[in-house]
Amino acid sequence: MRSRRGFTLLELLLVISLLALIMGVGAGLFTRIDMSDRVARPLVENALRSAHNWAIARGAPARVRLDPRTGSIDSEGLSVVGTWHFESLPARGAFGLDSLGEGGTLIDEGFQGKALSFAGLGSRSALTIPVVDDPAFDLSKGFAVRCAVRRQHGAGGSLLQIGGVVGIDLANDGSVSGWFTTALEEQNAAPRKGGRISVSTDPGAVRGERWSQLELSYDRRRLSITVDGVELAEREEDARVWSLEGPMVLSPGQVAFPGAIDALVVSAVSASETARLPQNFEFAADVPREIRFRPGGGLDRHFHDKPVLITLQHVDGRKETVRVQPYGTVE
């Protein structure tokens, strides 16, 4: 019968030493692999594709914001958070945002079907919608308010306010004013309420006794007013919007708004989680701060008259480029 024998102590020590040597060499090779090479470019591409897809799927503008100082990447898009068409009272809104009470009266000659009118009513005819409790109504990063309005000839008043921080007013001469309240941000301090930023059109922007489509929009770059598809007033601004302090109120003034409103849509800018470039990468000095996509997914031609190039620089001098074509495709 053949005897069995195991390893000697010397043989075991030799095997263990060889394994330790092999594992040590392997670990050293892994430490030399720079995984940031495989992460930096996809981070930028994913953010761009996310904004492009948002603009296609929602038919709304979207953008990517790049910060060369911090290496941060933010994708943002405009999302509808409330719609009202005023076919009944109390007013029924999308997402369960119905009005409180029955301020105003319904008229049959609306922009689409019926409309809500305050013409000839008393000062307590306002319609209140409790949007302040809806977390989707975060307008801090930007907003768009669209509606159809018809005013009595030669009359004006306050059309609406949202949470006391966003408003639209019409004057007797047919000019339109829009405003929002800023949030002042200071380093190492909590934001505090700032003043109002406003913009106004010339007289005659809205004619009496006819329906006009208004839009007040703000994207932390510009505050603008559009009437019937034509931009009539704008000003540059980049402050955040102060948090809502109350409900949305239609005809919030001391005197009832002398006219009617219909097809009200409120949208808010929402953002994805901020991504950051790996430590070994940074944006080139000439990188665009914003890449904007128009509804449908193509690049916004007002801001980009040619394909957009985004250059990433490695600490060892290597460069990588991401290209966005006019139709929004990322290469």
Residue in the structure block whose two tokens are 């991401």: 322
Task: Say if CB 124 and CB 246 are below 8 A apart.
Answer: no
Instruction: Please give the Cα distance from 318 to 37 (Å, whole number).
Output: 10
Q: What predicted TM-score, i.e. pTM, was given to this entire model?
A: 0.79
Write down the pLDDT at residue 39: 83
In this prediction, residue 15 carries a pLDDT of 67
CATH 2.60.120.200 fits 76-271, yes or no: yes
- Cα separation, 81 vs 94, in Å, equals 8
pLDDT tens column, 229-273: 999 999 999 999 999 999 999 999 989 999 999 999 999 998 877
Q: Which residues contact 316 (CB under 8 A, 6 or more apart)?
A: none
User: What are the residue ranges spanned by the domains of the chain?
Assistant: 76-271, 277-331
Give the per-residue pLDDT at 98: 93
pLDDT in tens, 37-75: 678 889 899 999 989 998 998 888 899 999 999 999 998
96: Cβ–Cβ under 8 A, 6 or more apart, which residues? Answer: none
Question: Which distant-in-sequence residues (6+ apart) come within 8 Å of 305 by Cβ?
Answer: none
- The pLDDT of residue 30 is 45
- Report the half-sphere exposure of 300 (CA within 13 A, side-chain side): 15
In this prediction, residue 24 carries a pLDDT of: 58
**289 exposure class (CB count in 10 Å sphere: 0-12, 13-18, 19+):** exposed
Residue ranges, the chain, pLDDT below 50: 1, 27, 29-33
Q: Which of 179, 172, 176, 163 is nearest to 129 (CA)?
A: 163
> In sequence order, which residues have a C-beta less than 8 Å from that of residue 257 and are 6 or more positions away?
118, 119, 151, 157, 158, 159, 170, 250, 251
Query: Given this model, what pLDDT does residue 215 score?
Result: 97
Phi, psi of 35 (to 5 degrees): -70, -15
Question: Cis omega (within 30 of 0) on the bond before 90?
Answer: yes
| 322 vs 287: CA distance, rounded Å | 11
CB 267 within 8 A of CB 218: no
CA-to-CA distance for 213 and 263, rounded, in angstroms?
9
